[in-house]
Structure 1
Amino acid sequence: MPPTPLKNTPPTGWDWFMQGLRHYSDFKGRSPRAAFWWFAIMSFGFSVLIGWVDVIFKAGHFLSALFWVALFLPMVAVSVRRLHDAGHSSWWAIAFYPIAMVELGWLNAISMPHATSDPFLVLTTFLGVVLLLPYLALAITLFVFYCQLSQPGPNRYGPNPYAPQPGAAPPAPSQPPPTQRTSTQHHDQTQQERETLDLLEKLAALHAQGVLTDAEFERKKAELLQEK
């Protein structure tokens, strides 16, 4: 079955890598850019480490070859799903990987001292030269496809499992933390009390100057305190 979204928390590179391994035979459905690029980056990183192990133990390329053989099918699968996610046919990957294997064989052949005397290596070299330009063209095209954004809605390869589901409740507006709300309320209350005291002082000054009678002063003071 096609891969489904990961846990609710943002997935890490290791999460995407393990998802690619678990879905090594899933050639249907869609995978976002993060799924493909994290799988490719971590595969390359592990291959470098395994290459160092080959050098340390003088194993040639034995462990590295085993590693890439084990990862070949998961890599093709996540590549196909990434193409589907961007709206492209899987035939781009199907055409690319055999040519890439020929080019890899060619590079390995020309590094051997007796490559010109082995008919198989001569054939590999010939195919490597002939297919070099198609290989480069496909590699550049696929790089562009792999970098494209996911198609937001469903396409001919299925729905986008990572798109927001229709009818989902919008996220609740952010609320200030309780401490911040309490501090704001306290500030507003203090400001109102200060304004009330200022008005009472003004009324008292007018009463002292004789502008307001005792009755007027008491009435306005009661009205002010009632409003606040």
Structure 2
Amino acid sequence: MLEHMITPFYRYADFTGRSRRREFWSFALLHLVITSVLVSLAISTGFSYRVLLQRAEFGGSLGVAAIAFFGILAMYALAVLVPTVAVNVRRLHDRDLSGWWCLGFVVLGAVPLLGWIGNVAYLVLMAMPGTEGANRYGNDPRDPEVPEIFV
């Protein structure tokens, strides 16, 4: 499973081909774990959004810990942005859909009620199995005859 978690980093900016559900959901789990650790560290050190708002409201500075936390979070977000988009596009390709659908779901997410509906639809779409056999985006990644998919 660890191999599938880090595969999107090997295929960093590869927006072609297809990715299986295992690769997509393993990478999502990795995000969840890392983000949970970062947020847990922030909470355990007394940092919270509420404290941040109170300081901003009274003209106080953020402090070194808050700046460091946001710096680490920003570096992590930038480091995973491209592989996250790439694995999402490849997962859509596995469903024989254009990667532009990803942008459509992001735009839909900006609309308050439609964003929730769009998120649920996107999760369902990502959970569905890919098309069997080759499609216009490449060979089936489940096909044992195609070992170069995860190279």
- Asked if Structure 1 and Structure 2 have the same fold, meaning a TM-score greater than 0.5 normalized by the shorter chain, the answer is yes
> Considering only CA atoms, is the larger Rg found in Structure 1 or Structure 2?
1
The runs of 4+ residues in structure 1 deviating greater than 4 Å are none
Q: Does 1:67 align with 2:55?
A: no
Structure 1: 5+ residue stretches without partners: 1-11, 104-130, 167-228
Query: Residue 73 of structure 1 aligns to a residue in which SS?
Result: helix
Structure 2: 5+ residue stretches without partners: 46-63, 147-151
Q: Distance in 2 between matches of 1:82 and 1:34?
A: 10
Q: Distance in 2 between matches of 1:27 and 1:51?
A: 30
CA RMSD of aligned residues (A): 2.2
Q: Distance in 2 between matches of 1:38 and 1:98?
A: 25
What is the TM-score normalised by the length of structure 2? 0.72
Which residue type is aligned with residue 30 of structure 2?
A: M
For residues 40-68 of structure 1, give each alpha carbon's deviation from its aligned partner in whole angstroms, at most 9, with x where no partner exists.
01111111112233343833533223212
What is the TM-score normalised by the length of structure 1? 0.49
Q: What is the CA-CA distance between 1:144 and the residue it aligns to?
A: 1.3
State, as a whole percentage, how many aligned pairs show the same letter.
30
| Equivalent in the alignment of 1:87 | 96
| Equivalent in the alignment of 1:176 | none
The number of residue pairs the alignment matches comes to 125
Query: Residue 75 of structure 2 aligns to a residue in which SS?
Result: helix
| Equivalent in the alignment of 1:25 | 13
For residues 128-186 of structure 1, give each alpha carbon's deviation from its aligned partner in whole angstroms, at most 9, with x where no partner exists.
xxx113322321221111011121200111111331439xxxxxxxxxxxxxxxxxxxx
For residues 65-99 of structure 1, give each alpha carbon's deviation from its aligned partner in whole angstroms, at most 9, with x where no partner exists.
32122211111110111111122221221222356
| Equivalent in the alignment of 2:141 | 161
Q: Is the 8 A contact 1:54 1:63 kept in 2?
A: no
Q: Is the 8 A contact 2:20 2:141 kept in 1?
A: no
Q: Which has the higher contact order (CA 8 A, sep 6+)?
A: 2
